Each structure stands twice: as C-alpha cells, then as structure tokens.
Amino acid sequence: MDFSFTEEHERVRETVRRFAAAEIAPIARQHDDDETFPKEMFRKWGDLGLLGVRYPAEDGGSGMDKISDCIVREELSYASQSFASTWSAHTHLGIWPIWKAGTAEQKAKYLPGAFSGEKISAFGLSEPGGGSNIRALSTKAEKIDGGWRISGAKTYISNSPFADFMLLAARTSPELKPHAISLFIVDLPNPAVVIHKLDKEGIRASETGLIHIDGLEVPDEALLGNETGTYPIILDSLSENRVGVAANALGMARAARDASIAYAREREVAGKRVGQYQAIAHKIADMDTDIEAARWLVYHGAWLVDQGKLTASMAAKVKLFASEVAVRASEQAIRIHGGAGIMRDYSVGRIHRDSLVYVIGEGTSEVQRNLISRALEL
Ligand SMILES: Cc1cc2nc3c(=O)[nH]c(=O)nc-3n(C[C@H](O)[C@H](O)[C@H](O)COP(=O)(O)OP(=O)(O)OC[C@H]3O[C@@H](n4cnc5c(N)ncnc54)[C@H](O)[C@@H]3O)c2cc1C
C-alpha cells in the first residue's frame, strides 16, 4: 500500500491553491453578500484546464484522475464553497453523463465548450415533490413526431439561472419500466423553461434555480442514452459525485480548522491566548483528527473510482462522514471564535452555513445511511 500523492498530484494542488488564494478568496465574501456568481470565472478555470480534470485527453479533457479531481475540489472549497459548488455542478453533474452516455454528436456539440468554459451546464434532477427519492420523479417526457414534449418542475438546480444547457431528468416510458427515467440535453434559454433564482442561507454565491417546464419540445437528438432510461447512469454519476463532494467538505473543514488555529494563537482573553485553554486546544485537536480521518476516506474513495471499484455504499460512507465532519468542524470554529464567530468579518460563519448544504445536497445524511444499511442486508 502506498498512501503518497504523486508529484503530478502535488503540482495540481499547488496550482489550484495559488489560483484560489489569488482569484477566489479575495472576492468570496463579496459574492456571498451579493448572491451572485462571476461567470467570467469559468473562462479562467477553462484556461487553466480545470474544467476537464477528470476526463480523458482523447475526449478533450485534461487527462487526469479522480484523485486530482478531489484535490481541485478540496482547494477550491478551502477558498469558497460557493465557487467550488458552481464548479462541481458544471464539471461533474452537467458533463459526466454526456461524457459517459452521449453519442459522438452530443459529445462534439457540448464537451469542447464545457471544457473551455464557454458553455456552462446544470443538472436538473430534484423536484419540488421530494429530492430524496428519485423514483418519485414526476416530470414527464411524451414522444412526439421527431422529438419529445416535456412538462414538470425542478428545484434547487445549481447554475440554472445562467446555464447555457441543462440535463433534465424526465420519465419517458413508465409502461416499459417504472424507473424509465432519462436525461435530455436542453439548450437554454428556452421560453418553455422558466427559471426563478432562489434566495439561500448557504453557498449564497452559487446561483440556484426553481424551474417550471411547460410543453418544452426537444428533438430526438436531445435524448441521452435511450428511452428505456438513463437511470443507471444517473445513479453512477451520483455515486462518483458523492466522493467528489466529500472532498469539497474536506476543504471546508480544513478552512474552519485553520481559521480556528489562527484565532486561537492570536486572541488573548485576560492576558492568556485562547489556544492555551485546554478546552479550546482539545476542540482543535478533535477537529484535526476528524479531518485526518475524512482525508483518508476521501482519497480512498477517489482511488476506488480510478480503479473502477467504487460501490454505492462506499460512496455513501465517504460522503456521510466527510460532510458531517465539515459541519462539526465549522460549528466548533464558531464557538472557538466566541462573538467574533457570529460576525460576518470572520469566515467561519460562512463556512458553517455552506457546510450544512453538504449534509443535504447529493443525498441527505439520512439517505446515505439508508444506502449503507441496505448494503448490510440487515
Ligand atoms: C444549494 C443546493 C443545491 C442543489 N443543487 C442541485 C442540482 O444542481 N441538481 C439537482 O438535481 N438537485 C440539487 N439539489 C437538491 C438536493 O440534491 C436535494 O435537496 C436533496 O436530495 C434532498 O432533497 P429535498 O431537499 O427534496 O429533501 P426531502 O426529500 O424533502 O427530505 C426532507 C427530509 O426528509 C428526510 N428523508 C426523505 N426521504 C427519506 C428516507 N427515505 N429515509 C430517511 N429520511 C428521509 C431527508 O433526509 C430530509 O431530512 C440542491 C440542493 C441544494 C440545497
């Protein structure tokens, strides 16, 4: 067993760390306050090759592995989870299914622009009727001559307020299979797709939409996979992305720990630095231990993806643990900061608000526990 990162991995980490410190950290607070995402960031990411990290060079990607993808996520999240979430919704949720199940024409139409940052994607699966159960999905696609007519609603869809295209999940032929759920590639804007930007408490700079789809007509070429369902592709995509978002959570937890260490070293109460209080030092020791455990789970998960051995249950364990670590660490960070932790001038409140998104998005902690316990055949 060799647990070391390669020189290439270290180079990726250093490049993204520097980029994020220079280009994201200084504007993270402002965009969180304004609830806006600077779209020009996509071109910068594209120029650095950060939008195709996980995809092979022969498909136009940067030809790296899942471990590199997790390193990029960790470093982006360290600077801002909003920016990292925006990146993730595009580079994984919006692109992966096309790369995995798309025809040569679909790949040629969408992947080059998606990798360069010219075209931004979104992934519309969750619905107002309940995001936790995919099988409850009610958006319908009816076959019409030469294409499909789609009606329904989607909610909490990241990047949708400014996306150039969206993968839209809809039921195609329930008479063939109850979970005949397929993805359609929908070019935006489209008058039959009305997108309302939502107000959020967490990852506020990541733009999120509620979507109404009324009689949207798309051609046959918009269907990804076939009409008996892209369901297994959706499930595989979610599993792989759970390892990814666990890396995001790890980045947030590290940011909370480092802010706590800096504060504990600097803040003096009655002539004593707060880091010298054992209660504070122990909180940081627990945080550091949690982070170490999360790190090994995340990179083990990434290694399993690269080996083609990731199971849904393992992905759930990685995501469950790392996301809960980010919540615990950022909550402790607020306590360690005392009153300052509640002030917007300090980053720990924002990290905590953002961390809560990750015990919900990509499947709640309860859903992860369902997946893990189901695999135990209790
Ligand atoms: C900021 C943000 C961005 C998002 N981005 C996207 C995106 O880009 N694309 C997309 O498709 N979705 C996206 N989502 C949706 C996200 O995946 C869902 O919010 C998530 O799956 C939970 O669904 P829900 O919100 O409908 O919760 P619900 O399903 O309503 O769950 C409510 C509560 O009930 C619990 N619960 C539900 N079912 C079960 C069960 N079977 N067993 C035990 N407990 C259960 C849940 O754990 C939760 O505590 C995003 C969400 C957020 C908050």
Q: Which of 132, 135, 166 to mutate to test the pocket of ligand 1 (most atoms within 8 A of CB)?
A: 132
Closest-CA residue to 88 (of 38, 122, 44, 131): 122
Let me know if 146 is exposed, middle or buried by CB neighbors in 10 A (0-12, 13-18, 19+): exposed
By DSSP bridging, strand 165-171 and strand 121-124 are parallel
Q: Look at residue 176 in the predicted model and tell me its pLDDT.
A: 63
DSSP designation for 337: T
Closest residue (by CA) to atom 25 of ligand 1?
Answer: 131
Distance 324 CA to ligand 1 centre (A): 16
Ligand 1 contact via 131 beta carbon (within 6 Å): yes
Closest-CA residue to 371 (of 156, 133, 138): 133
State the catalytic residues. 362
Q: Which of 82, 211, 364 to mutate to test the pocket of ligand 1 (most atoms within 8 A of CB)?
A: 364
Closest residue (by CA) to atom 44 of ligand 1?
Answer: 366
Angle separating helix axes 104-116 and 41-48, nearest 10 degrees: 110
Distance 156 CA to ligand 1 centre (A): 9
Q: Which residues contact 293 (CB under 8 A, 6 or more apart)?
A: 321, 325
Q: Look at residue 146 in the predicted model and tell me its pLDDT.
A: 97
Q: Look at residue 134 in the predicted model and tell me its pLDDT.
A: 86
Distance 13 CA to ligand 1 centre (A): 31
CA 220 vs CA 138, 143, 148: distances in Å: 20, 9, 7
Closest residue (by CA) to atom 7 of ligand 1?
Answer: 157
> What residue has token string 């996306």?
163
Ligand 1 contact via 153 beta carbon (within 6 Å): no
C-alpha span between 16 and 20 (Å, rounded): 6
Q: Look at residue 340 in the predicted model and tell me its pLDDT.
A: 98
Ligand 1 contact via 129 beta carbon (within 6 Å): no
Distance 209 CA to ligand 1 centre (A): 14
C-alpha span between 116 and 136 (Å, rounded): 35
Closest residue (by CA) to atom 16 of ligand 1?
Answer: 361
Q: Are 207 and 237 in contact (CB under 8 A)?
A: no
Ligand 1 contact via 157 beta carbon (within 6 Å): yes
pLDDT along the chain (378 residues), means of 10: 93 98 98 98 98 96 97 98 98 97 97 98 95 89 96 98 98 76 96 98 98 98 85 92 98 98 97 97 98 98 97 98 98 98 97 98 96 97
Ligand 1 contact via 209 beta carbon (within 6 Å): no
Domains of the chain: 7-116 (1.10.540.10), 121-230 (2.40.110.10), 232-375 (1.20.140.10)
